[in-house]
Structure 1
Amino acid sequence: MTGAKRLRLQPMSEGSSVTQLELFFDLVLVFAFTVVTDLAADDPSAKNLVRALLVLALMWWVWIAYSWLGNVVRADEGIMRVAMFVAMGGAFIAALTIPEAFNDLPGGWYGPLVFAIAYLVVRLVHLLMFWLCSAGDSQLRTQVVRWALGSITIGTTLLLVAATTHGTVQIALWFAAIAGDYLWTLIAGNGWRINSAGHFAERYGLIIIVALGESIVSIGIGVRALPISWPITLAALLGLAISGLLWWAYFDVAAIAVEHELKHATGERQIQIARNSYTFWHFPMIVGIIALSLGLKKVLYYVGDASHHTLHDALYGAPLYCLYGGVVLFLVGLIGAKHYATGEFGTQRAVAVVLLLALTPVATALPALVSLGLLCAVLFALIGYETVRFADPREQLRHGSPA
């Protein structure tokens, strides 16, 4: 009897926080984000950037699958704990195989197939656990079956087929696998469960922290072999400031407002906010931060490596587009997430997006350090304006009383 209790699934309750095992699970994503950034940095060609984006989309799908599952049953109790470790193993193997997810490296196993099989294992464990935890909930069981019929069969099957192909056909199959998975999830119904809105919002806030942490790591990696100097110091502080301003843009008000709507929504509306504001609209934020990481890494290398570059050299091509475009993507995702949940459109953030897009071609003619400073200045102006212009509603939302 005691053994049966130890294996029993324990439902997640309202008010619960993210478990330590879920944070441990996220370490695999930390590694995956690092590998994706390195993959893009090693070859910033358009084709390779597309590949990096596709891999990131699949690793994101791995993470969000367990964010939903962990909101139904506790990740650190019963057989779910074992399932989380098995899923971590599969996700870690997939992350290790990212450099050869498209092209096999000489020696060893066939990389693309190993990646596809590891991904399949993670998805099957997720499906099995959702099947078990929906045993007493007919609506959830029906939703799981309906979702699995399309999501698992489309996504994983096409990915396995893609592992046997090369070139344009392979990339097309990856696109089809991811698009099919995402679209089927969108249309498969709203019969899911949100047992703890606070846990769900915290889970996504933490993955934003994880991604921003990767952007800071990229600053250090970009100059780890170079002697410290004033250009490196200034560029590092500017990069840190940009990451901090993105943190501010997300957590100061927007995250609180979206979580408030998620908590007070009921029925299908709550599921739609969770799926659209969090699962879907958070993805461009993650892509944006990873792109920013690549740009920051290149800027630090430019300003620190005097043997190959001067302080007058401009950042151009993919690194510059990733630097500015990453911030643009982050802001677009944040605007979309908040708008879907609250109905409020962040006009000032949309203006910042347009301004950054307009400044990108200008930045190609500026020294890399100046381009970085200009990006930081735009974000600083945005956050400063919002803090002053919306001081009263900000105070009301954060503390429940007018300033």
Structure 2
Amino acid sequence: MASRPERLLRGSDASLSASFLELFFDLAFVLALSQTAQHLLHNFTLGGALRTALLLAAVWWIWVATTWTADWYDPETPVIRAVLIVAALGSLLAGVAAPQGLHGRAALFAGAYVGVHLVRGVVTVTMLRGHPRQRRALRILCWYSVTAVVWLAGVLLPAWRVALWVFALVIDLTGPRLGWPTPRLGRARRHELHLTGGHLAERYQQIMIIGLGELVLVAGLSYAGTGLDLAGTVAFLLVFATAVMIGLLYVTPAGQRLGPALDRADPSRLGVVTGDLHLVMIAGIVLTAVGAELSIAHPTEKGDTASALVIMGGPALFLVGRILFSLTIHRRISWPRVAALFVLGGVAVALRPPLLALSAVATVVVLAVVVLDRAGILSYRSVRQSD
């Protein structure tokens, strides 16, 4: 009969499908994405964009760390179910705080972030007492305990808040890359950081659907708030088409090869890198949602520099993440995607047409990438079959 710590760990025969509570946890992430988009809308400057990126990266790391937990431990055990529920609540609270996360609600945002990581660490260290995997859990808890001090110091020192939080987040993101080295405990070895490729690939696909769902929701709510005139209707349809094509660009082909790649790779490298690249793609979708709200609400207004950069920059940022994702997974570069970056950047810098026209250009460019990518995939398959 397996010991209590052994029962906590995810077995090799465990289902790769996400559990109900993992999907429930994803729903809490919807609010965080929506609220970070609102933070950018109300801080429509370069500095505001950078501060939004800090908030988004923090809530994203809650998602990544929780997803790794559900991969290392059995999400059907009562203890891990409780951890997932706490993580869902923490994500909701971080989302509630996000629009004022660097100001009046900084304590709530930092408290939610720190609380999720510390609760998870304390629970896993306690439940793994006497098991070799306790050392991994203890290393991770030590790192989050150190950065918790920095996060909370940022709450108490408003003038230093952004700098302190950036520093703390960098440490949190660096930990898994180094194996969380800790005095007297050393660093985690490769086998301790193993991730189940099939499970993690499915979770990334699910969170991308959540991100696209946020984009569609923003488009629908923005359209519902208009007079349903022709310009607003066209802007809404363009955003919907963009959302569909972003989804198509994600799933083929590298998105389908992520699982086997993770099974073969060093998790401290590829496991972390894929998380970073998905953050870039999610950030692109959030930025696209901000641009969607602008173009649907004010389709005939002439675009200024900021709005042009947002409407063009959302798809461009997604494509940057997607290009690097393909390069990481199967060492290939999609030149149509690279060319699209130059087109989107050139339009954002050089042209100031109405927002509807900017949205149309962005949609056409993404459509061209989808078509050219599809033609390239079919051509590649034809060559392979003839060989």
Shared fold (TM-score, shorter chain, > 0.5): yes
How much has 1:262 moved relative to structure 2? 2.1
Offset, 1:241: 0.8
Question: Which residue pairs with 1:357 in the alignment?
Answer: 345
Using a 3 Å threshold, how does the CA distance of structure 1 residues 33 and 395 change in structure 2: closer, same or farther? farther
Residues 204/396 of structure 1: CA separation in 2 closer, same or farther (3 Å cut): farther
Letter in 2 for 1:280: D
What is the Cα deviation at residue 203 of structure 1? 0.3
Cα separation, partners in 2 of 1:338 and 1:46, compared to 1, 3 Å = same
Q: Does the 8 Å contact 2:177/2:268 carry over to 1?
A: no
Any conservation in 1 of the 2:340–2:365 contact (CA below 8 Å)? yes
Secondary structure of 1:390's match?
helix
* Counterpart for residue 327 of structure 2: 339
Q: 1:177 aligns with which of 161, 164, 168?
A: 168
Alignment partner of 1:159 out of 151, 154, 173: 151
In 1, the alpha carbon distance for the partners of 2:269 and 2:123 equals 22
The residue number in structure 2 matching 1:219 is 219
Q: How much has 1:56 moved relative to structure 2?
A: 0.8
Shift of 1:173: 1.4
Kindly state the Cα deviation for residue 30 of structure 1 after the two structures are TM-superposed: 0.3
Q: Does the 8 Å CA contact 2:337/2:369 hold for their aligned counterparts?
A: yes
Q: Indicate the residue corresponding to 1:120 in structure 2.
A: 114
Structure-2 change in CA distance of 1:148 and 1:374 (3 Å) = same
Q: AA paired with 2:217? A: V
Measure the CA separation in 2 of the matches of 1:395 and 1:183: 42
The alignment status of 1:389 with 2:376, answered yes or no, reads yes
Q: Deviations over 1:23-78 (max 9, x none)?
A: 10111100111111112113313333222211111100100011101111232322
Q: Which moved more, 1:140-149 or 1:377-386?
A: 140-149
Relative to structure 1, the CA distance from residue 288 to residue 258 in structure 2 (aligned partners, 3 Å threshold; closer, same or farther) is same
Offset at residue 299 of structure 1 (A): 0.6
> 2:10 maps to what in 1?
11
Deviates further, 235-244 or 42-51: 42-51
Contact 2:294 2:355 in 1 (8 A): no
Structure 1 residue identity aligned to 2:327: H
Quick one: distance in 1 between partners of 2:331 and 2:141? 31
Match for residue 56 of structure 1?
A: 56
Q: Which residue of the partner structure matches residue 362 of structure 2?
A: 375
Number of residue-to-residue matches in the alignment:
376
2:305 and 2:356 map into 1 onto residues whose CA distance is 15
C-alpha RMSD of matched pairs (Å): 2.8
Q: Please tell me whether the aligned partners of residues 118 and 144 of structure 2 are also in contact (alpha carbons under 8 angstroms).
A: no
One-letter amino acid of the structure 2 residue matched with residue 390 of structure 1:
I
Does the CA-based 8 Å contact 2:326-2:332 persist in structure 1?
yes
* AA of the residue aligned to 1:332: V
CA distance in 1, matches of 2:39, 2:31: 12
Aligned to 2:291: 295
Which whole-Å CA distance do the structure 2 matches of 1:218 and 1:388 have between them? 32
Residues 252-291 of structure 1: matches in 2 within 5 Å?
252-263=252-263, 265=264, 269-277=266-274, 279-291=275-287
Instruction: Assess, with a 3 A threshold, how the Cα gap between structure 1 residues 244 and 134 changes in structure 2: closer, same or farther.
Output: farther
Kindly provide the amino acid, as one letter, of the partner of residue 262 in structure 2: L
Shift of 1:355: 2.3
Distance 1:239 1:133, change over 3 A: farther
Amino acid at match of 2:365: V
**Paired letter, 2:378:** A
Q: CA deviation at 1:377?
A: 0.9
How far has the Cα of 1:136 moved from its partner? 7.0
Distance 1:199 1:331, change over 3 A: same
Distance 1:133 1:256 in 2: 35
Question: What amino acid is the match of 1:252?
Answer: T
Quick one: which of 177, 199, 203 aligns to 1:186? 177
Aligned to 1:181, the other structure's residue is in SS state helix
SS of the aligned residue for 1:380 comes to: helix
What TM-score do the two structures reach when normalised by structure 2? 0.88
1:357 maps to amino acid: G
Question: How far off its partner does 1:83 sit?
Answer: 1.9
Corresponding letter in the other structure for 2:198: G
1:306 corresponds to: none
The question of whether the paired residues in 1 share the 8 Å contact of 2:195 and 2:267 is answered with no
- Structure 1, 343-352 or 142-151: larger mean CA deviation: 142-151
In the alignment, the residues of structure 1 paired with residue 314 and residue 85 of structure 2 have an alpha-carbon distance, to the nearest angstrom, of 32
Equivalent runs, 1:83-102 vs 2, <5 Å: 83-102=83-102
What is the distance in 2 between the residues matched to 1:214 and 1:394?
34
Gapped regions of structure 1 (runs ≥ 5): 105-110, 304-310
Q: Do the aligned partners of residues 231 and 85 (structure 1) sit closer, same or farther apart at CA in structure 2, a change above 3 Å counting?
A: same
Per the alignment, in what secondary structure is the counterpart of residue 8 of structure 2?
Answer: coil
CA contact (8 A) 2:58 2:169 kept: yes
Aligned partners of 1:239, 1:102: CA distance in 2, in Å? 30
User: Residues 81 and 221 of structure 1: is their aligned pair in 2 closer, same or farther, counting only changes over 3 Å?
Assistant: same
Contact map agreement 1:315 1:367 (CA 8 A) in 2: yes
**3-state SS of the aligned residue for 1:11?**
coil
C-alpha distance 10-151 of structure 1, shift in aligned 2 (>3 A): closer
| Structure-1 separation of matches of 2:380 and 2:261 | 16
Corresponding position of 1:108: none
